[in-house]
Amino acid sequence: MRQITLFVLFCFITICFAQNQGMRMIKCQKNGVCNDENCGKSGTVPNNWAVTLENCSVADCSKLTGNGAIVSTNACTSCFQYDTPYANYNNTLCVKTSAKLLAAASSMIVVAFLFLF
């Protein structure tokens, strides 16, 4: 029972650290303006960008995806700080590629084998 509890705790901690989100600044400002034309599409609402000094960031990441959303890789990068996100093939979703997620999955498989054998 103790081994199962440790395994579940390990999986929970690994997944939590791999899923951190934040705001990353993007250098796409032109003439003091951050908008879809300069930075790329930003979700379900047009021009969902905020100006921060000389950089831009998505103003509301909750509006990045949803019904009818069109996103750019810049918008995805702004909302997902600890991953290497990019827009999928038809620019409707942000897809995360992360070495942390791969390491977490590998670690969980190794630990599972240790407990099973």
Confidence of residue 2 (pLDDT cuts 50, 70, 90): low
What pLDDT is attached to residue 47?
A: 95
Ramachandran category for residue 22: left, alpha or beta (phi over 0 → left; psi -120 to 50 → alpha): beta
Distance of CA 83 to the CA centre of its chain: 6
Assigned token pair, 43: 């979700």
What pLDDT is attached to residue 21?
A: 31
For the CA atoms of the chain, what is the radius of gyration?
18
Q: Render 74-103 in DSSP notation, one character per residue.
A: HHHHHH-SSSEEEE-TTSSSEEEE-HHHHH
pLDDT in tens, 45-103: 999 999 988 899 999 988 888 888 999 999 999 987 666 788 888 998 888 765 555 56
Regarding pTM above 0.95, the answer is: no
pLDDT in tens, 10-44: 555 554 444 333 368 889 999 999 999 999 999 99
